[in-house]
Structure 1
Amino acid sequence: MGRGKFKGKPTGRRQFSTPEQMMAGTSASRPRTFKQEEAEVEEDERSEEESEEESDEESEKKKGTQGIIQVENLNSGKPKNLKARDVDMDKTTELSRREREEVEKQRAHERYMKLQEQGKTEQARKDLDRLALIREQRAEAAKKREEEKAAKEQKKLEARK
């Protein structure tokens, strides 16, 4: 809509109320007497509210479901920083699932290593069998060397004669 050559000020246009609005009391510019009467009514309401608050503080109206449900802020209940004197040393903290699994894994490994040392696991039995076989082979090899050494010495003695 064209308003003419010049634009209006950015603060807005002037609003003029019609005589009907002024009579109804909905206009922007109300008569001063009406404003004074309204202020007196507000003061009376405030004094009544103050007297009600003093007599009945417990029955405050709460918005929405606050009157029905009592909600406590979970974050405000626990102190974030504990002092050394407040710490309970007897209290055990619960481990997370990963930590529990890791502890169980370590214990199982320790148990397995103890059984391994005692020779009760399959792998330990296999290792011991292999070790016994190697010892036998080494003992046979040592006997052969001694026999060969003894045979060489006998040949030397026969050659000197």
Structure 2
Amino acid sequence: LNPAGKKGHKGRGKQFSNPEEIDRQMRLQREKEESGGAEKESSESEEESSSEDESESRKRSGVEGLIEIENPNRVSQKSKKVTEVDVSAPRELSRREREEIEKQKSAERYRKLHMEGKTEQARADLARLAIIKKQREEAAKKRGAVL
């Protein structure tokens, strides 16, 4: 039934809850908390320490209470005080900064060698210039001879 090249709809259609349903659910939840709160008040006078233990167990459910988990990949930002910062210490350059400096130095080295005529390109340029000078001299001689 689908035309060629058209894919069918994937996944479920989106379902939106209406505001009345959300309000009703929130009212029910509040009523549960209020009725539960009244029962807790009577039991709190008997056992205060047990409610503290319950709140801790709720915070750390499952294995979290048994094992201290620390992510080794997470780097915590340790801020230094201004007095602790050593300005005179050499700063480590990033890879990009090092490459940029190296690139500039090599370009400067090449330019210097090129000006001295020691590079292949400089030699080729000088040879081409010599040929052009000879051609111009010959053309000037011919013009001088014709006139």
Which category of TM-score, normalised to the shorter sequence, fits these structures? 0.3 to 0.5
| Larger Rg, first or second structure (1 or 2) | 1
Tell me the TM-score normalized by structure 2.
0.47
